[in-house]
Amino acid sequence: MGGPSITSLLLNLGLFSAGLAFDESREALASLEKRVVPDAPNGYAPAPVTCPSTRPTIRAAGKLSSEETAWLQKRRTATTQALREFLTRINIAGFDAGAYIDKNGNDVSLIPNIGIACSGGGYRALMNGAGVLSAFDSRTSNSTSPGHIGGLLQSSTYLAGLSGGGWLVGSLSLNNFTSVQAIVNSTQNQLGSLWQFEDSIFVGPDGGVNEPISGTSYYENLISTVDSKSDAGFNTSITDLWGRALAFQLMDYPQGGLDVTWSSLSDDPTFTSGSAPMPILVADGRAPGEDIVSLNTTVFEFNPWEMGSWDPTVFGFAPLRYVGSNFSGGAVPDNQKCIRGFDNAAFVMGTSSSLFNQFLLNIDAITATIPKVLDSIVEKFLNGLSGAENDIADWTPNPFFGWNNKTNPSAQSNRLTLVDGGEDLQNIPLQPLIQPERNVDVVFAVDSSADTLAPSANWPNGTAMVATYARSLETYLSNGTNFPSVPDQNTFVNLGLNTRPTFFGCDAANFTGTIPPLVVYIPNYPYVFNSNVSTYTFSYNISDRDAIIENGYLVATRGNSTLDSQWPQCVGCAIMSRTWARAKATVPDVCNQCFTRYCWNGTRASQTPAEPYDPTSVFTQLNATATSTKKNIGATLAPSILSLLASFGLAAIFAF
């Protein structure tokens, strides 16, 4: 595919080459220092505390929590003003957005409710998703210029992530809901420790000023930290080790935030004031030793107040701050102490990405260059785990013990074991955003999955969308949810639905019962860089990292509207679609044109594609060839890991 030269394109990028590498690094560093306040009572080890006067209980999932309901009043006020600014700026012909919101701003049913979902896919998903979110973020330089869509993030209520997408959501949220731009600027100027992916997670920090731990002391720190949890009487799994390692790259805290919990977010002033969207991470329920997670697995979510599931199987939520306490039949008995600190933030992010445990389990296959002393430390830890439980996250004691005994698969077990949220192939975390109680009108679904095979592997082909649609057809699992119809993966490829944004569920009149959100599917695609990097690559120099983020920005903006001058208006039309349908309002002509171009019209082309999927870059490729001066030990898995994964039955699952 042809296109303008990269030189002319960069004049309008609003990113690294023409904006994001600006000279405000000290300001960026200051923004990173405003972090969520740690609140665990004893570091990483959960510890007993005095129970609150109203003892912790499980609540049924028939409605939103009182905390979320109260928070929504603040957030919806903030998003209404942000949405007014966004819609006014993009200027949909025939729609006076300012007048509409001024008239209806006090009626939330008439103001669109927006969710964003970031898929799994390891570092590829984090970086591509970061590019998309930077395009949505009005804090990014140039993002509010003509042809751009900055302000969409500020207009959104929910921000969900899974696995690698969960690392992105968690990293931004736990670091004071900072911007991608602030992180990039600080790391480019060596002022921050976030997203320093030159330091492979298998090696750890380089022992610099930002984090003095390095080498053997890094692994010893991971092990001693996890041991402290075990010494306190709690089960540990390899996910504890994985989460602690992630923390050093994703959390700008000393020692990776030992005492930072996910529920700490519920006290963060930026979040509690309604100034930022609600972060939600997703994991799957799975008993130890099970080989396959089917579409009928229980899907769990973690939000700032609770963990639990909307699924009819569990249909309940536990107060996250007190998970680790001995709940029974939905309550902590009077003779039991309350526990805090179990929901360590990195452990939650590790739970959502637990499939990556396989790389720690098979560290010898990663590279022969890892120092033997590090190998021996990990091996010592693994010897304490059985093969049936080493790839799970252990949330024992099970907060849902004795809860919903007839339907809850773990109701009679003291253990609750969770795994990577993409193991059921729902690699985009859509389930929390399609719940009727949340009344989401539109979801921007960012897909960084690795569905395609060689010669051009690691691009999405709609598999995650197909899986969520298939699950919605199982009425015993749907819990009143609905999901737009989507075609099979061959149709995605044959019709090019995985090469550009596509809208699903455009016509609300097509649904009976619950009307689901309109889904704006945004697949990863090469604009200026081949961002289909392998899920098995664990180290990136700064140039490659920034190029993938920049490519993601262009994915979200359709090349800053180079490919469609009306793209920002089309985004606005998707946002307003459900609201106009409820009000039976006349849809502007420009929006009808947008829906004609971007809505899937039901056409299927299910035959096997004539040629293997091999996308061509839209614009001239960036020359991101800067070499790292740091050692890339453990950067890329040896080929033997593929056969090794196959022995675990995980090669296909690891497509995401």
CATH code for position 51: 3.40.1090.10
| Cβ neighbours of residue 324 closer than 8 Å, sequence gap 6 or more | 46, 234, 339, 340, 341, 342, 343, 397
3-state SS string for 417-450: EEEECCCCCCCCCCHHHCCHHHCCCEEEEEECCC
| Pairing assessment for the beta strands 316-319 and 306-309 based on DSSP bridges | antiparallel
Query: Is 288 within a domain?
Result: no
The three-state secondary structure class of 39 is coil
The backbone region for 112, taken as left when phi is positive above 0, alpha when psi lies in -120 to 50, beta otherwise, is beta
Omega before residue 397 within 30° of 0, cis:
yes
| Cβ neighbours of residue 638 closer than 8 Å, sequence gap 6 or more | 365, 366, 367, 368
Q: What is the DSSP letter of 610?
A: S
- Are the C-beta atoms of 501 and 520 separated by less than 8 Å? yes
Q: Please report the pLDDT score of residue 361 as a whole number.
A: 54
At residue 561, φ and ψ (nearest 5 deg) are 70, 15
DSSP string, 47-64: EEEPPPSS--B-EETTS-
CA distances from 380 to 19, 223, 310, 383, 442 (A): 48, 9, 39, 5, 48
> What b/e string do you get for 450-489 counting C-beta neighbours within 10 Å, with b at 16 or more?
bbbeeeeebbbbbbbbbbbbebbeeeebbbebbbbebbbb
| Among 164, 201, 126, 132, CA closest to 422 | 164
Amino acid (1-letter code) at residue 37: V
The three-state secondary structure class of 272 is helix
Cα distance between residue 229 and residue 99, in whole Å:
56
| Among 92, 181, 272, 4, CA closest to 550 | 181
| Among 575, 572, 531, 521, CA closest to 553 | 531
Q: Give the count of beta carbons closer than 10 Å to the beta carbon of residue 524.
A: 31
| Among 19, 87, 113, CA closest to 568 | 87
Helix (H) or strand (E) holding 309: strand 306-309
Q: Which residue has the tokens 């097509």?
A: 510
Burial of 21 (0-12, 13-18, 19+ CB in 10 A): middle
Cα distance between residue 377 and residue 587, in whole Å:
63
Positive or negative CA dihedral for 37, 41, 42, 45? negative
Q: How big is the CA angle at 514 (ends 508 and 520), to the nearest 5 degrees?
A: 50
Query: Is 292 within a domain?
Result: no
Query: Is 291 within a domain?
Result: no
Q: Give the count of beta carbons closer than 10 Å to the beta carbon of residue 597.
A: 15
- Are the C-beta atoms of 612 and 499 separated by less than 8 Å? no
| Among 184, 284, 235, 250, CA closest to 414 | 235
Q: What is the mean pLDDT of each run of 10 residues along the chain (656 residues)?
A: 38 39 42 74 97 96 98 97 98 97 93 98 97 98 97 98 97 96 84 83 71 74 91 92 92 89 97 98 86 80 98 97 98 96 97 73 51 59 57 93 96 94 94 97 98 94 97 86 97 98 97 95 98 89 96 98 98 98 96 98 97 95 60 37 36 38
Q: Which two tokens stand for residue 622?
A: 């960036």
Instruction: Kindly report the pTM of this predicted structure.
Output: 0.91
| Among 536, 545, 526, 556, CA closest to 620 | 526
Q: Please report the pLDDT score of residue 373 as a whole number.
A: 55
3-state SS string for 554-575: HHHHCCCCCCCCCHHHHHHHHH
At residue 517, φ and ψ (nearest 5 deg) are -65, 150
Query: Is 213 within a domain?
Result: yes
Q: Which two tokens stand for residue 308?
A: 């639990």
- Are the C-beta atoms of 395 and 287 separated by less than 8 Å? no
Strand partners, 605: none
Burial of 2 (0-12, 13-18, 19+ CB in 10 A): exposed
- Are the C-beta atoms of 425 and 489 separated by less than 8 Å? no
- Are the C-beta atoms of 428 and 421 separated by less than 8 Å? no
- Are the C-beta atoms of 430 and 443 separated by less than 8 Å? yes
Q: Which two tokens stand for residue 251?
A: 């959390």
Q: What is the DSSP letter of 653?
A: G
Cα distance between residue 83 and residue 318, in whole Å:
33
3-state SS string for 489-506: HHHHHHCCCCCCCEEECC
Query: Is 29 within a domain?
Result: yes
- Are the C-beta atoms of 14 and 142 separated by less than 8 Å? yes
| Cβ neighbours of residue 598 closer than 8 Å, sequence gap 6 or more | 501, 502, 503, 570, 574
| Among 71, 262, 277, 304, CA closest to 159 | 277
Query: Is 287 within a domain?
Result: no
Q: Please report the pLDDT score of residue 371 as a whole number.
A: 55
Q: Which two tokens stand for residue 589?
A: 């002509």
Task: Tell me how many domains the chain contains.
Answer: 1
Query: What Rg value do the Cα atoms of the chain yield, rounded?
Result: 23
Positive or negative CA dihedral for 16, 533, 484, 421? negative
Query: Is 370 within a domain?
Result: yes
Query: Is 293 within a domain?
Result: no
Q: Which domain holds residue 105?
A: 6-282+298-655
- Are the C-beta atoms of 459 and 451 separated by less than 8 Å? yes
Q: Which residue has the tokens 């720190």?
A: 221
